[in-house]
Structure 1
Amino acid sequence: MTDNPSAQHGAPSSLDPDPLRDEHTGTVDGAAVDGNIHVGYWDGPADGRSLDQATDRLTDLVAGRLAAAPGRSLLDVGCGTGRPALRIARATGGQVSGVSVSDEDIALARTRADAAGLADRVDFRYADACALPFESASFDGAWAIESMMHIPDRTAALTEIARTLRPGGTLVVTDVLLRSPVTGEAAETVRRACRAFGSPALPEPAELRTALDRAGLEVLEFQDIGEHVRRTYQAFADAFADVTPSVDDPHYEFFDFARSLPRFGALAEIGYAFVVARRR
């Protein structure tokens, strides 16, 4: 199993709103990567892709695992402002339903779908990952890009996602990963990151594997592609360098932490999971 996905293929709500959402959705959506609020993927040091291109590359790697085709139904859990869903729908010809617990995300995603002429094939709605508003066996495939880190009960969320998949359906999960326990200054950096990201705790490999198994999902591929995404943290820090929130801003902690993103991303204990599973 390679650590390069491209080498293999061409609570309150259980999904708590990301700190990047709602009041600052427009700021982040434009200042960062035009709707791709997730990490980018680079082949290596010589890869000259921009952050915008690299985030699209990660989306394409996810799409490549879904075996999607025209007429197939796909679910995007934690759809953000819609760019990955629209890109995958356009590339595969599939029907996509995206869910988020941010009203601002949903509004922007619907606007994007209308502008792209894809509103007939891509829909977005407010929904909890642990209580999805879809009948069982509704989808041929699903993905969750950096959603699991926000969910306190990942087993419950994965079980619910699995319920909506048809037998044999594929789920692709990508997320920031805590490779091993941290101590001292590194532990404080991770704690600050979790507060800034709105994450109860970063998922660990064993936890993710166990949650997938309990959800009735067979792991086909489990990779740590952390070395391919590390450039993202500096790039995001640069993107938010000019954002100066007031201390009473509800998202002050995230924007304040943005300056520490490169330090967080450089920790050896921080990886990035790329997981492909199949409903049994």
Structure 2
Amino acid sequence: MTDDPSVRHTAPSSPDTGPVHDEQTETADGTAVDGNIHVGYWDSADDDRSLNQATDRLTDLVAERLATAPGQRLLDVGCGTGRPALRIARATGARVSGISVSDEDIDLARTRADAAALAGRVDFRYADACALPFDAASFDGAWAIECLMHISDRTAALTEIARTLRPGSPLVVTDVLLRAPVTGDAAETVRQTCRAFRSPGFPGPVELRTALDRAGLETVEFNDIGEHVRRTYQAFADAFDGVRPTPGDPHYEFFTSTRSLPRFGALPEVGYVFLVARRR
């Protein structure tokens, strides 16, 4: 196998999102979201889950679609600080490899794995989604939670992920979705959000479906669950309220404004995709 955890770092072919995640680590690893750097899922308007519980709920929905058996091997593309990987490994008995372009996230994820006594089944390493350090057909399933929005060539990333999957294995993708083009003030809000998260642009439905097909992946489910995750943006704004990035950082104003994330999340053009695909 070529998946040596000591793989040498190379410049990622996707935008360098490491510093963005590092800036968010203080909040993401705190009690507000407890290591989850992704949206939460609420079943209905009456669902009273906390943000912490709702983010775990999204992870559980991903795990359900993976339908994993104990001992199988899974890939977490864009693992963050490791909570989803550890949660899925614990619930399913699977072995999980997580990758990220943030050294700080990887360090935190490894610390979490040690604390959970799961280091023997869950490993984390620095790697680029467009150049994965794994042999072909290494995994029984994979997921990418809010990873593709940071990558310019999504077809290349999906092709690389598909390469590492065994035929018939599932890939679950959840991500911000731009339902329709935006203009005027809405377009500026989207541009500001893209800059803050170092995204080249949020994908649309046609782009994602085309990229999946070109990558040799068959789409099994393609759902826009935007209304189930929308309250996340205000909840995260509240969680970030006491966190102050370095004033010289280009994202300072965005992350210290309690209005920026909610304004973006309220746009009707902003959805959230939950898709399942299989390697042909």
Q: TM-score, normalised by structure 2?
A: 0.93
Per the alignment, in what secondary structure is the counterpart of residue 220 of structure 2?
Answer: strand
Q: TM-score, normalised by structure 1?
A: 0.93
CA distance in 2: counterparts of 1:134 and 1:155, whole angstroms: 18
> By how many angstroms is 1:67 displaced?
1.1
Cα–Cα, structure 1 residues 265 and 274, in superposed 2: closer, same or farther, change >3 Å? same
* Equivalent residue number for residue 39 of structure 2: 39
* Equivalent residue number for residue 197 of structure 1: 197
> Any idea what the Cα deviations from partners look like across 1:111-147, whole Å, max 9, x if unmatched?
0000000000000000000000000000000000000
Per the alignment, in what secondary structure is the counterpart of residue 167 of structure 1?
Answer: coil
* Equivalent residue number for residue 232 of structure 2: 232
* Equivalent residue number for residue 142 of structure 1: 142
> By how many angstroms is 1:100 displaced?
0.2
CA distance in 2: counterparts of 1:258 and 1:169, whole angstroms: 41
* Equivalent residue number for residue 271 of structure 2: 271
* Equivalent residue number for residue 17 of structure 1: 17
* Equivalent residue number for residue 216 of structure 1: 216
Specify the code of the residue in structure 1 equivalent to 2:40.
G
> By how many angstroms is 1:242 displaced?
2.0
For residues 75-86 of structure 1, the aligned pairs below 5 Å read: 75-86=75-86
* Equivalent residue number for residue 119 of structure 1: 119
Alignment pair present for 1:110 and 2:98: no
Comparing 23-32 and 88-97, the one that deviates more: 23-32
Residues paired across the two proteins, number: 270
Comparing 131-140 and 17-26, the one that deviates more: 17-26
Whether the 8 Å contact between 1:226 and 1:271 is mirrored in structure 2 is yes
Specify the code of the residue in structure 1 equivalent to 2:17.
P
Whether the 8 Å contact between 1:196 and 1:257 is mirrored in structure 2 is no
> By how many angstroms is 1:197 displaced?
1.0
Per the alignment, in what secondary structure is the counterpart of residue 166 of structure 1?
Answer: coil
* Equivalent residue number for residue 61 of structure 1: 61
> By how many angstroms is 1:110 displaced?
0.2
Specify the code of the residue in structure 1 equivalent to 2:69.
A
CA distance in 1: counterparts of 2:217 and 2:205, whole angstroms: 15
> By how many angstroms is 1:179 displaced?
0.1
> By how many angstroms is 1:22 displaced?
2.1
> By how many angstroms is 1:252 displaced?
1.4
Specify the code of the residue in structure 1 equivalent to 2:193.
A
Specify the code of the residue in structure 1 equivalent to 2:236.
F
* Equivalent residue number for residue 26 of structure 1: 26
Whether the 8 Å contact between 1:113 and 1:122 is mirrored in structure 2 is yes
* Equivalent residue number for residue 183 of structure 1: 183
Whether the 8 Å contact between 2:35 and 2:82 is mirrored in structure 1 is yes
CA distance in 2: counterparts of 1:127 and 1:177, whole angstroms: 24
> By how many angstroms is 1:61 displaced?
0.1
RMSD: 1.5
Specify the code of the residue in structure 1 equivalent to 2:205.
P
* Equivalent residue number for residue 8 of structure 1: none
Specify the code of the residue in structure 2 equivalent to 1:99.
I
Specify the code of the residue in structure 2 equivalent to 1:179.
R
Cα–Cα, structure 1 residues 254 and 104, in superposed 2: closer, same or farther, change >3 Å? farther
Percent of aligned pairs sharing the same letter: 79
Gaps of 5+ in 2: 1-10
* Equivalent residue number for residue 157 of structure 1: 157
CA distance in 1: counterparts of 2:19 and 2:226, whole angstroms: 22
Specify the code of the residue in structure 1 equivalent to 2:70.
P
> Any idea what the Cα deviations from partners look like across 1:157-211, whole Å, max 9, x if unmatched?
0000000000001000000000000000000000000001110000000000000
CA distance in 2: counterparts of 1:198 and 1:171, whole angstroms: 24
Cα–Cα, structure 1 residues 158 and 258, in superposed 2: closer, same or farther, change >3 Å? farther
Cα–Cα, structure 1 residues 113 and 168, in superposed 2: closer, same or farther, change >3 Å? same
Cα–Cα, structure 1 residues 257 and 142, in superposed 2: closer, same or farther, change >3 Å? farther
* Equivalent residue number for residue 7 of structure 2: none
Whether the 8 Å contact between 1:76 and 1:97 is mirrored in structure 2 is yes
> By how many angstroms is 1:107 displaced?
0.3
Per the alignment, in what secondary structure is the counterpart of residue 139 of structure 1?
Answer: coil
CA distance in 2: counterparts of 1:245 and 1:94, whole angstroms: 36
Per the alignment, in what secondary structure is the counterpart of residue 111 of structure 2?
Answer: helix
